[in-house]
Chains A and B, each alone.
Chain A
């Protein structure tokens, strides 16, 4: 049973929808982003009345979205295995005018990829990232640090701001 009224679902979307959208889109790419976002929001809408309380709805919404992102990654990986595509292909499609950044993010290990996207794309604090990744706050920070270190080592991303046109 619900303890205390849940806010209207629309308020959740108004407040957190844009951040969820950025996270999903950055996680699965521009081509599948809209579908994946829709799947996530519909799944949340389906489950919403059954929530026991309205605490940390933002974290809950991101958990649902992260599930959909991981489902998507698994689907794409399976599809690529079935077609024997090279294993190092990223699991999402890059931006049309990408400089290799998204592709590099896509090559990160799953936990590091999610951590860095939650941190810099969805702008979540480490305590919430820890909740989403089911790890300690320190481990969440460590995953972000490790992700940034890997990205810095990517030759295509080695340019600094000053070098960029």
Chain B
């Protein structure tokens, strides 16, 4: 006699598929959010520069990671809280405004920002950076001058390189004094695409 009870248990446990049903996942996300249990919510955002990872705390947008950037969520778990959950509803505004930006229908982001991942000088530089408008560029040296540290253009470069919220905090608008593009965390192709979109570079 074939003992098929283990097999039947396995079959019965997974009618259709192995996964947790979407309705159960969505109800769980809503309950976690209303229970105040999600310290970091994240969602994937598809854009012309690849799939971004956007993350928000209850205070606001805290991180945008480019496609291919490694360990974005792990780093958030270590630096902010391990209660990191995929919760697209908290990023609805972020996704909508990014969609509008990439469609050329939005020039400024109007989003609450949580600056938890930058401190001190870097935070000051990022605050000043946000005054550089759509379609404009500024040099590292000029940005250093604007924050009152005219000799700190290298440190400004570092602040740009560690910008936790690229695109929304527009570090792509910072270029070399001679007109060279400088660097970019998401890769120079992305920087070129963003500056072209904004009309700061010729297509």
Contacts and interface: CB of A to CB of B under 8 A. Distances in A.
B19 A18 contact: yes
Contacts, number: 108
Contacts of A59: none
Interface string B1-32: 11111111110111100111101100110011
A26 to B, nearest CB: 5
B85 interface: yes
B160 to A, nearest CB: 26
Interface string A84-116: 000000000001001001100100000000001
Contacts of B3: 148, 152
Interface string A129-145: 00000000000000000
A22 B24 CA distance: 13
Interface residues of A, number: 41
A124 to B, nearest CB: 13
B31 A11 contact: no
Contacts of B86: 10
A42 B35 contact: yes
Given A5-B78, A18-B20, A98-B12, 6 more contacts: A5-B74, A22-B14, A26-B9, A46-B37, A49-B83, A160-B1
B77 interface: yes
A8 B12 contact: no
Interface of A: 2, 5-11, 13, 17-18, 21-22, 25-26, 34, 37-38, 41-42, 45-46, 48-49, 95, 98, 101-102, 105, 116-117, 119-121, 148, 151-152, 157, 160-162
A120 B9 contact: yes
Contact of A121 (B9, B19, B42): B9
Contacts of A49: 39, 81-83
Nearest to A123: B10
A8 B1 CA distance: 47
